[in-house]
Chain A
Amino acid sequence: MKWKPPSLSLSRFAGEGTLTISMVDEGLNLLALPRKRRRAGVGVVMVTAMALISSAHAVTPGEMLPDPAMEARARAITSELRCLVCQNQSVDDSDAALAKDLRVLVREKLKDGMSDAEVKDYVHSRYGDFVLLRPPLKLDTILLWTAPFLALLAGASAVWSASRRRRAAPVESTELTAQERARLAALGLPERQPRDSAE
């Protein structure tokens, strides 16, 4: 097969100025590079096709509000909003153009005197559930939100029923057996010595 140079195109997924490089070549289909810094960490993925262009400016000084208290509220709100064109990045962290628009929008609404909840509702009503990094509690997400407690409950009831079954079985004595006494004596240790359990 013949290797062709990758075609360059502006991605519709990613933000302004983002290059997406894709190469399609006879079944070989390697990779788009959305501008995304996040994706980090434990990066098996990134070890692959991952690709993020990193640059260090999500919130820029120019966007910030003069009132520190209001700016802090804006940061708190935008850090719980998903950048819709990125992967798992909040509006607060993203460089994408849409994220910037949303940051500005949130700040304008705050300046108009909206409360935090009103701003969130406004964004939610425009972009739907997907924009909220904290999923709303509703019928669809009840299982999600209750999962940890259901897991704990299920585990606890399993432990409880196992211990009940066990109680029905003859209880093993916690006293030393004759064999254990003999071993202690052989080692020259008193019986009541606190146990130096090795864990």
Chain B
Amino acid sequence: MIVEVGHYALILALALALLQFAIPFAGARLNDPALMRVARPTAISQFSFVALAYGALTYAHVVSDFSLVNVIENSHSLKPFIYKISGVWGNHEGSMLLWVLVLSLCGALIAIFSSAMPDKLRADALSVQGLLGAAFLLFILLTSNPFARVDQPPWEGRDLNPILQDPGLAIHPPLLYLGYVGFSIVFSFAAAALIGGRIDAAWARFARPWTLFAWVALTLGIAMGSYWAYYTLGWGGFWFWDPVENASLMPWIAGTALLHSAAVMEKREALKVWTIFLSILAFSLSLLGTFLVRSGVLTSVHAFASDPERGVFILGILVFFIGGALALFALRAGSLPVGGLFAPISREGALVVNNLLLSASCATVVIGTLYPLALEALTGEKISVGPPFFNTVLIPIALPLALLMPIGQMLAWKRGDLPAALARLRAAFAVGVLAAAALGARYGTPFLSIVSAGAAVYLIVGGLSDIAQRAAFRASSAGAVFTRLRGLALSAWGTSVSHAGMGLTLLGLAATGWGVENIVAMKPGDYYDVGPYKLGIEEISPRNGPNYSEIYAVMAVRSGGETIARIEPAKRFYQARKMQRSEAGVVTLGLGQVYAAIGESHEDGAIDARLYWKPFVTLIWIGALVMAFGGGLSLADRRLRIGVARRAQVAAMPEAAE
């Protein structure tokens, strides 16, 4: 019964989404406030009904209702509770339902927090959001119904793919989707602005918090997924330039560019057309990612690729929304007024360069991901575009970007003073060079690691020195500095902290070049070198978990003869799916990690193992957390807080809130 209620709620949600599209849109055209007012309640109730449907599916998973195909395929009565909940999105149908849930949540959020927005803009934005919701709800109901039943239920389910049975995977998809789909808000805003034909700084003020919100969620989601891959996949890789990963990286880069150009638009009324374009692009890339992942064009070994219905449907959605938005853009962009002017050497100029480099990176990732598909379709020739390609072409773009980031921060709006900005960065530059020299002396080659680490340290110090120098400027006492620090706008803190976070991540990435690997058949009792530590097996035993059995090794990590930590890498076997999965043993020592994974056992008692020492590796993810925290600081800025931007104030005194 509950399952049917969920199914029915989903159909009602589709009806509401269609109303949410049609009525406010008509209202905006007819200038009828009563029709426009329909947008908010329908958006909120559409979300409620999708949430009800989602709740029903979750219920079916939790109680192991094996009359549902979705539950049979992805659950098992013995599966731990948390994975019964996360298993809901651990499959195609459920994850599409999560996608729609987040999409309708975004609509509800706009409805709730948009009191300050002009009525027409809100009505049009919610109408676009409704149309998006309707398209995806239709997709679920027609091609991917999670509520499909079977006549004769089996006694037991097939269990969730073991590799997904991990706490990391319980958090990663919802965060990722908040980011991915969060960009739909800015997309709807951009489409609404183009439909209404009015684009000004106030628009940027409404759009920016939502961009930040989506960007923060996407940053955390990507970091979470990458850390999950790192400790789950058994040899410590964390980014593989896999098309699926690229699918999330593309909107992230576009979103990063959008954050910066929206800042220019809000402050200076410049880059308006470009900002609108990026708003469309960020979500279009999310849609493209969904298409690539869901349609099966990339993962052709997967059986659902042979079901072209889904792929064609998503392609239709993709073409309709991206094509529609771009057509609207082409139609209206020419008539948009040119914005504020600025000298090439200025904050605006620096942000233009930032956008240029980010767009080039984004284009590279898009082309690198799609090129093999296009080439095979056109010529039948198969090529591989793998990590060596992406590393080769992106590093020359990323390093200059890192060098320019602090400089941009130091330049004033309108017209900046480059020598003065460079002078303020002298200390940061010196610290960077010293750090590169010190790390180079300590860890040696590769040269790229040394250069990148230097750039990273310069980025961290440079990012923070803007804040420090502003606080210390002509300050008489420590107390004055402290007062000044507290008085600085939170968004200024946000910029500095995020840039420093980027530096931390870069340092972590640079240090991967200094990692030590030891692949060895380990005999219990013998100790093996991994960087500054020694690892030895104390015990190898079997053990049973709730829905798996495993062989685990207790390894002692020694430093100078003392055991400082124990780790337990394991090899798990999941009965229901007859699948193996390794569980790495990881211990964090300082900022680095000792990482071990075990493989086949030999008759003489030895066991194949991969041992790693990864200096500074945790910085990769700590940096992402710091970046997201910086984004959160900006979001908390009173000036940017959702709903604070009052229309009247913005119109009368564009700079009053500064």
Contacts and interface: CB of A to CB of B under 8 A. Distances in A.
The finding on whether chains A and B are genuine partners in a shared complex, rather than unrelated, reads yes
Interface of A: 1-3, 5-6, 8, 13, 19, 21-24, 27-34, 37-62, 64, 80, 82, 87-88, 90, 93, 128-135, 140-141, 143-145, 147-148, 151-152, 155-156, 159, 163, 166, 169, 171-172, 174, 194-199
Contacts of B240: 38-41, 88
A62 B357 CA distance: 46
Interface string B288-320: 011001100011011110110000000000000
Interface stretch (B56-64, B488-496, B540-548, B621-629): B488-496
A109 to B, nearest CB: 20
Contacts of A13: 301
B301 to A, nearest CB: 5
A13 B91 CA distance: 22
Given A29-B304, A38-B233, A47-B91, A62 B363 contact: no
B226 A3 contact: no
A61 B375 contact: no
B85 to A, nearest CB: 14
B163 interface: yes
Given A2-B152, A56-B235, A58-B235, A30 B244 contact: no
A172 B341 contact: yes
Interface in B377-399: 379, 381-389, 392-394, 396-397
B151 interface: yes
A174 B658 contact: no
Interface string B491-531: 11001000000000000000000000001110000000000
Contacts of B643: none
A140 B91 contact: no
A29 to B, nearest CB: 5
A58 B235 CA distance: 9
24 contacts: A29-B304, A31-B303, A42-B176, A43-B229, A44-B95, A44-B247, A45-B244, A45-B299, A56-B582, A57-B610, A88-B240, A134-B388, A144-B371, A147-B363, A152-B357, A152-B360, A169-B338, A174-B343, A195-B413, A196-B488, A197-B347, A198-B492, A199-B409, A199-B492
Contact of B352 (A88, A159, A194): A159
Q: Which of A2, A24, A34, A37 has the most CB of B within 10 A?
A: A37
Nearest to A6: B158
A38 B520 CA distance: 22
A6 B156 CA distance: 13
B197 interface: no
Given A29-B303, A32-B302, A38-B233, A47 B584 contact: no
A48 B610 CA distance: 29
A22 to B, nearest CB: 6
Given A32-B301, A61-B519, A151-B359, A47 B89 contact: yes
Interface stretch (B21-29, B34-42, B185-193, B594-602): B594-602
Contact of B161 (A6, A51, A134): A51
B324 interface: no
Interface in B98-142: none
Interface of B: 69, 72-73, 89-92, 95, 148, 150-154, 158, 161, 163-164, 169, 172-173, 176, 221-222, 225-226, 228-229, 232-235, 237-245, 247-249, 263, 267, 289-290, 293-294, 298-299, 301-304, 306-307, 338, 340-341, 343-344, 347, 352, 356-357, 359-361, 363-364, 367-368, 371, 375, 379, 381-389, 392-394, 396-397, 409, 412-415, 470, 473, 488-489, 491-492, 495, 519-521, 569, 571, 577-582, 584, 597-600, 608-610, 639, 658
Nearest to A198: B489
B381 to A, nearest CB: 6
B164 A46 contact: yes
Contacts of B597: 56
B232 A174 contact: no
B360 A30 contact: no
Contacts of A62: 521, 608
A148 B397 contact: yes
List the 8 shortest-distance A-B pairs measured between CB atoms, nearest first. Answer: A133-B386, A57-B599, A40-B229, A56-B597, A56-B234, A134-B388, A198-B489, A151-B363
Contacts of A55: 234, 571, 580-582, 599
Nearest to B570: A56
A40 B245 contact: yes
Contacts of A59: 519
B367 A49 contact: no
A144 to B, nearest CB: 5
Given A2-B152, A45-B299, 19 more contacts: A3-B154, A5-B154, A28-B69, A29-B306, A38-B237, A40-B240, A40-B242, A43-B244, A44-B289, A47-B91, A51-B161, A52-B233, A54-B232, A88-B240, A132-B384, A133-B388, A140-B379, A172-B341, A197-B492
Given A42-B226, A144-B385, A199-B263, A61 B301 contact: no
B579 A19 contact: yes
Contacts of A3: 69, 72, 150-154
Given A52-B163, A87-B299, A141 B383 contact: yes
A143 B371 CA distance: 9
Q: Which of A64, A80, A87, A195 has the most CB of B within 10 A?
A: A87
Contact of B73 (A30, A131, A143, A147): A30
A86 to B, nearest CB: 9
Contacts of A132: 383-384
A24 B384 CA distance: 30
A90 to B, nearest CB: 7
Contacts of B356: 152, 155-156, 159
B304 to A, nearest CB: 6
A52 B298 CA distance: 15
A92 to B, nearest CB: 10
Contacts of A56: 234-235, 569, 571, 582, 584, 597-599, 608-610
Q: Which of A32, A46, A51 has the most CB of B within 10 A?
A: A46
B150 A2 contact: yes
A169 B342 CA distance: 12
Contacts of A41: 222, 225-226, 228-229, 238-240, 242, 244-245
Q: Which of A24, A60, A88, A163 has the most CB of B within 10 A?
A: A88
Nearest to B389: A134
A88 B72 contact: no
A1 B413 contact: no
A140 B375 contact: yes
Contact of B90 (A47, A148, A197, A199): A47
A129 B161 CA distance: 33
B386 A88 contact: yes
Contacts of A130: 382-384
Contacts of A31: 302-304
A83 B412 CA distance: 51
B655 to A, nearest CB: 8
Contacts of B577: 21, 33
A174 B415 contact: yes
B338 A166 contact: yes
A185 to B, nearest CB: 15
